[in-house]
Structure 1
Amino acid sequence: MAIDIGGGETGLLAWMLKRNVLKNVNQLLVNFHGITTDISQSVYVEHLMILSDLYTEGFRTFHFQRKLNCIFKEDKGKTGCYSIYMIRRMPMTGPLEVYGPDLIENKTSTDLAFMYSSLLISSQVHCKELVRLGKVSDGGWDVCNDTKYRLSSPCLVYSFGIDNDWSFDDDISTTFGCETHSFDPSMGMLDHQRSKKITFHNIGLWGKPRGLKGTWTMMNLKEIIDMLGHTGKIIDILKMDIEWAEWEAIPNMLATGVLRNVRQLFVEFHGSPGPDSSLLSRLTSLRGIYDQGFKLFWSHPNVVGDNPKIFSVTGREVSGCYENYFLNTNLINLK
């Protein structure tokens, strides 16, 4: 059942729950509205009570999406409407396993395209508490604040790819007090101290030893960690939005083992969603991340700009760019 009525969803759902209308509904997709900058506390309580009642009814959220057309003008970090996708609780057979070499080596490019697209919108481990830092729209990121994966104190963050949007870096440094290192050679900025907690480095990330890419200074992750004196330290968040270069950088990270000290890994993956000669290597990299203990806890398509594309195999619209969030299940907090 899909509900998108532009307002009054909580009242309609309350009516349905009271009359047991939802008893035979397996999937419930709802667009919620009604949150404004000046609403009373009672409206938030009303939304929370309906979600609690739906949980009691047996529904579990499997995905949600912030609606960008409702972003507050006064606060770009908040939105007044959101979509929640729910399914009735049912027995689980275990988390999705990333495809291994035995399953992908002899597949056609069309099969690989299906595998890639389905994997990037899945999840493998649950995070009960998400904190959005930075913009609601493109530029912000969702941090897992579960006790098991909570950031260290003090925490350390590497942020690759700024493009003059500091919203995440500023937020993570002030909200959690993290020592944050920001990297982007494309902005024409020299190394500098942006704030007490944020250091900017005019360096780009790739998979080769230190060198030049045009006029840009490039380094691999192990070199950067060693340079900053962080060898052996836990990096609480490693964020990458580096416009396709992730596929060059990740194999080197896997080979050198530096990801094993990363607690949360955020990557914006770029690439054609359709049949493509690079899909085998992309899926191999995703399998490598999985093998080092990382499991997807959240993902969503980036739909800004020209990212939405038609998947040639099905004719359905998909994205050529996905934000994926991983938790290192080998670095669980025991306290």
Structure 2
Amino acid sequence: MIVDTNIVQSKTKIKMSSIRMSAHTQTCLRLAKNPYRGGLILSVLIILTVWFFHHRSAYSGITDHCLSLDFEFVIPADLLLFQMSKEGLSCLYKRYVTSLQSLCTMPKRFGNIDYGGVRICVDPGVAPSKGKCVIYSYNHDLSDRFVKQIYAKYRCNVVFYGEGLVARKSTKILGLTQIVSNYVNEISVLIFKITVKDFPFLFEMSQTIKRAQIKQIIFEIHLDESRGTRDEYLSVLKALRELRDSNYEIYWFDRNWEFVKNEFSNRRTSNCFTVNMYLKPPNTSNMTGTSSVKVDLPKEAPVGTTALTKDEVLKYQERYARYILKHQYLCKQMVRLGNIVDGGWDVCHDVQFRPKHPCIVYSIGISWDFSFDEDIANTYGCDVFSFDPSMDTDDFRYSDRIMFYNVGLGAKVSEITVKDSKWKIKNLQTIMKELGHTDKRIDVLKIDIEGHERQSLPEIIDSGALKNVVQLCMETHSYYDLGTMRKLYEAGFRLFWAHQNPQAPLYTNSETLSYGMEVYFVNINLMHE
């Protein structure tokens, strides 16, 4: 049954927010013993509710990803850079720090899975020198776990330094610049937390790094988009350009969730980006990962929901968690569609894989959050087909380009009972056949079904339903499913990005892993020509 669009869209907004709003309403009314005061509070709440829903619905898929800058991002020379507007500089900054320039096949996280940890490339040639290395941290709140793990792995000592470059500059005490110059042969990694007060001295620091030839540089840059000035953007961009000209290339970045701005509006802007760079080893080129990345997967491994003993689980789970964090393909441009935090997803925007109109997207598992669906429809002009059996609603058309189906994904066609509700379940091949997409190109397949991918993914691969899927975005909850990962690899899917769920950490003595992951694949058999 197809129901009225406007009614269901209103229901969508109310479903996502009614619990929070009703709780606030009841609390306020309990506090208002006087009936006149209660009426006044109720009136204010009504006004706030209207405002709240207006701003929630104002999301409607913000398409300004600065995608008009449709090239490999290069920070121009001063003559052109100083002619750019603040808006242009802001766009260039955001796209530059969220684009990759080189492939790191093993970007390992050390320290806390949330704040207090960083990712370091451990590829040969750029990894810290084992047994003789120092990591300097300027103002960064690295955890004790980071110190212990990096020492266990590389015998590196971590030196914490900094009260702010400005203070050291004005008092003429020994600065980090002098330390870098004096101890260049021992420093493997420099980690910076950079705030506005440091921006005027960034270029000087970048020149020191250039002379020192330190293996890896990690910047945590705090720059508020709404308050940042033109001069602040220029200072940061000039320093990044100096490092790029010195053969430092970005291999990882983070949109730090802890600093996401305006959570209840669109959750699209972060005031803090972490940018990881390494000094590119000589005589190397930008690998694409199609043939040069070693795939460490056992030929015989558990698949899906294979029953294992406790010892077998322990044998495979860390190996699985390490594998899923590897990068096998260099996607230089990635765009976050939907929320930065939970509900958004990354899409490879490189020309050989990006969605091109007319395009088809499957969004499986949404739980009333259409932010990704709206954004990918508006950004690329795709027709989006959304699926979720848990939303207690009939099929409906959400917008001109988004159609919702009250169906879940599984290994076979069935009907299951969940909390007294009947859920319709279909496998991907059946869904494609019913929608007339069996031989159609599916530009993005997003699967977020809370652990049920363990049953459905092996069947999806074996049925051949992935043969026309270009990009696969998936949340995984498996601990050991290396057999399915091998099947994906053999079908042409290469890992290009992964995000660890901070709610599901797996800590070892020498690194930080995760049970829950957002993982991203491109199908190298379906590149655009």
Q: TM-score, normalised by structure 1?
A: 0.88
Counterpart residue type for residue 221 of structure 2:
F
1:212 aligns with 2:415: yes
Counterparts of 2:444 and 2:193, CA distance in 1: 36
1:290 & 1:191 partners in 2: Cα distance? 34
Q: Which of the residues 499, 504, 529 maps onto 1:308? A: 504
Take 2:202 and 2:276, find their aligned partners in 1: how far apart are those partners? Answer: 14
Query: Is the partner of 1:326 in helix, strand or coil?
Result: strand
- Whether the 8 Å CA contact 2:396–2:404 is kept in 1: the answer is yes
Q: Judge which range, 261-270 or 22-31, deviates more.
A: 22-31
SS in 2 for 1:187: coil
Q: Does 1:101 align with 2:101?
A: no
In structure 1, the residue matched to 2:358 is 154
- The count of aligned residue pairs is 320
- Does 2:447 match 1:244? no
Q: Kindly name which structure, 1 or 2, has the bigger radius of gyration based on alpha carbons.
A: 2
* 1:86 counterpart = 2:277: yes
Is the partner of 1:286 in helix, strand or coil?
helix
- Unmatched 5+ stretches in structure 2: 1-189, 304-310
2:399 partner SS: coil
Give 1:176 shift.
1.2
1:298 match: 497
State how far apart, in whole Å, the 1-side matches of 2:267 and 2:211 are: 35
The percentage of counterpart residues that share the same residue type is 32
CA distance in 2, matches of 1:24, 1:152: 41
Matches within 5 A, 1:32-111: 32-73=221-262, 75-90=266-281, 91=284, 94-101=292-299, 109-111=313-315
Deviation at 1:133, TM superposition (A): 0.8
1:24, CA displacement in angstroms?
Answer: 3.6
Aligned residue for 2:318? 114
Listed one character per residue, the Cα deviations across residues 2-41 of structure 1 (whole Å, up to 9, x for unaligned) are 1125444544441122234662411212111123324344
Q: Which of 205, 210, 214 is residue 25 of structure 1 equivalent to?
A: 214
2-structure distance, mates of 1:314, 1:109 = 19
Equivalent pair of 2:207/2:242 in contact (CA under 8 Å): no
Distance in 1, Cα, partners of 2:250 & 2:471? 22
Hey, what's the Cα distance between the residues in 2 that align with 1:103 and 1:221? 24
Structure 1: which 5+ runs fail to align?
273-278
Amino acid at match of 1:55: R
Task: Provide the C-alpha distance between the structure 1 equivalents of 2:297 and 2:198, rounded to a whole number of angstroms.
Answer: 40
Whichever structure has more helix as a proportion of its residues is 2
Q: Please give the alpha-carbon distance, in whole angstroms, between the structure 2 residues aligned to 1:327 and 1:153.
A: 18
How far apart are the structure 1 equivalents of 2:463 and 2:398?
30
Q: Is the 8 A contact 2:474 2:519 kept in 1?
A: yes
Rounded Cα–Cα distance in structure 2 between residues aligned with 1:88 and 1:19:
14
What are the Cα deviations for residues 63-104 of structure 1, in whole angstroms up to 9, with x where unaligned?
Answer: 111112222216411111111122221347922425141588
Cα separation, 2, equivalents of 1:141 and 1:300: 10
Letter in 1 for 2:273: Y
Trace 1:126-141 onto structure 2 (pairs within 5 A). Answer: 126-141=330-345
Tell me whether 1:263 sits opposite 2:466 in the alignment.
no
C-alpha distance 101-185 of structure 1, shift in aligned 2 (>3 A) = same
Instruction: Give the counterpart letter for 1:309 in structure 2.
Output: P
SS of equivalent to 1:259: coil
Q: For residue 84 of structure 1, what is the amino acid of its counterpart?
A: V
Measured against aligned partners, the alpha-carbon deviations of 1:170-222 in whole angstroms (never above 9, x if no partner) come to 111111111000001111111000000000000000112x1112110000000
